[in-house]
Amino acid sequence: MAEPDRFHTRRATRPEYTSRSPVLVASTRRGHLWDMLLADEPWWTLRLATTGLDELIDQQDGVVGRDQLLLGGVSEVVIRRKVRRREWTVVWPRVYAIRPGAPTAYGNAIGALLYSGPTATWSHATAAYQLGLRKTSPAGLDVSIDATRRVRDQPGLRIHRVTRLGERRLAGLTPPRVTGAHSVIDQLAERPSLARALALVADSCQSRRVSLDDILTASHSRPHRWGAELRAMAGDTLRGSDSILEVMYVRDVELRHRLPTSTRQRSLGQDIADCSYDDFGILVELDGRLHLVADRRWRDMAKDNRSALRGELTLRYGWFDVHQNACGVALQVTCVLRQRGFRGHVRPCRVACPVSHVVIAA
């Protein structure tokens, strides 16, 4: 007669497992769970000890690693039989999906960690998605491991070997992932241009899950692509709040609506204009401050007055305008440009874009 299965799913009667790796059972009986939490122990060890194997698998969306199964009391015989009968699907080497159908995106991400080893950590776009810095799931998975280890890439999974990985990891959170700031720095290396790199920083800051100060601190802690440019642009005024807003203005207002290209950071005597439409005498000033300081407000008024004496018109916008009403800003800038002689073609960014009214009127 065939050997009965020693693995049961949740809500089934749990048998007495006869594990070939009895460390968990012995430690649990002695009440010394913390004895297992050494520096090289996997992140899931305490979860397994406190919740049990079935609950752990539920938390992992039905994906489980071979080491977890063995430590939880499932024998090698049962594992091989389940895989041979195709009751379990091999997701990654030594990682299985025990539920029917394809594993979820989260289950795949968990499986990538289990395959990559005990120090594996979500990084790059994978960490950004798990932390809420981006809304769409990335096409592939990225996992960072300690530089002293070697793990092969798999289809849809990139392995990054990193020195001092522990300094990048977000403390107190499992499954392990790098901090939001380091996930942004990871992705900068993949951006082909400075404009794309700055747009990534702007989008990440807009999620309100990471601050520009955090990104700059992470940038100073490690060498990376576009690091010098990012720090140069973001380190001048108010830790870069205005500079990032300028990038968003160029992307969301100018490029998406095909407005004329402005001159950025144009020097005008004692003043510097954020965006200048030189041929039409129009200046756009962008203010990334959340609170208006009194003396700064008077300086801005004096700056606008000097622009008026030169015959230039100043339009001033803040974070809310560019973030939440980029189309409205584009409409205003287009109308003023028309008044000053601009006859070029602009383009609505969508069907309901208010810029379409200017196009029709023209």
Question: What is the per-residue pLDDT across 6-51, written as a single tens digit (0 to 9) for each?
Answer: 333 333 333 333 333 333 443 343 344 334 434 467 899 989 999 9
Ranges 124-138, 184-198, 205-219, most confident:
124-138
Q: Which of 36-50, 112-126, 324-338 has the lowest mean pLDDT?
A: 36-50
Q: Provide mean pLDDT across the span 104-115.
A: 96
DSSP, residue by residue, 42-56: -TTHHHHHHH-HHHH
Q: Which residue has the higher pLDDT, 52 or 13?
A: 52
Q: Provide mean pLDDT across the span 266-270.
A: 77
174 has pLDDT over 70: yes
| Percent of the residues in the chain that have a pLDDT greater than 90, as a whole number | 50
pLDDT band at 338 (very low <50, low <70, confident <90, very high): very high
50 Cβ partners below 8 Å, 6+ apart?
Answer: 33
pLDDT band at 175 (very low <50, low <70, confident <90, very high): very high
119 has pLDDT over 60: yes
Residue written as tokens 């059972």? 25
Q: Which of 72-81, 154-163, 297-306 has the lowest mean pLDDT?
A: 297-306
Q: What is the pLDDT of residue 152?
A: 94
Q: What is the pLDDT of residue 287?
A: 74
* Calpha distance 203→140 (Å, rounded): 20
360 has pLDDT over 50: yes
Q: Which of 12-21, 44-53, 162-171, 242-251 has the lowest mean pLDDT?
A: 12-21
Residue among 167, 191, 169 nearest 180 (CA): 169
Q: Provide mean pLDDT across the span 163-181.
A: 94
Per-residue pLDDT reduced to its tens digit, 277-323: 999 999 898 875 543 444 455 466 566 667 666 778 888 887 778 87
β-sheet bridge partners, residue 282: 277, 313
pLDDT band at 238 (very low <50, low <70, confident <90, very high): very low
pTM of the model: 0.63
**DSSP state letter for 37:** -
Q: What is the pLDDT of residue 249?
A: 87
Q: Which of 44-58, 161-175, 183-197, 236-250 has the lowest mean pLDDT?
A: 236-250
- Which domains, and CATH codes, for the chain? 1-117 (no CATH), 119-235 (no CATH), 241-361 (3.40.960)
Q: What is the pLDDT of residue 205?
A: 80
167 has pLDDT over 50: yes
311: alpha, beta or left, given left = phi > 0 and alpha = psi -120 to 50? left
Alpha helices, DSSP H, located in the chain: 23-30, 45-51, 53-59, 66-72, 76-84, 105-116, 124-131, 180-188, 194-206, 212-220, 227-234, 241-249, 256-257, 294-309, 319-324, 326-339, 355-361
Q: What is the pLDDT of residue 300?
A: 60
| Percent of the residues in the chain that have a pLDDT greater than 70, as a whole number | 77
* Residue 110, token pair as written in the block: 């968990």
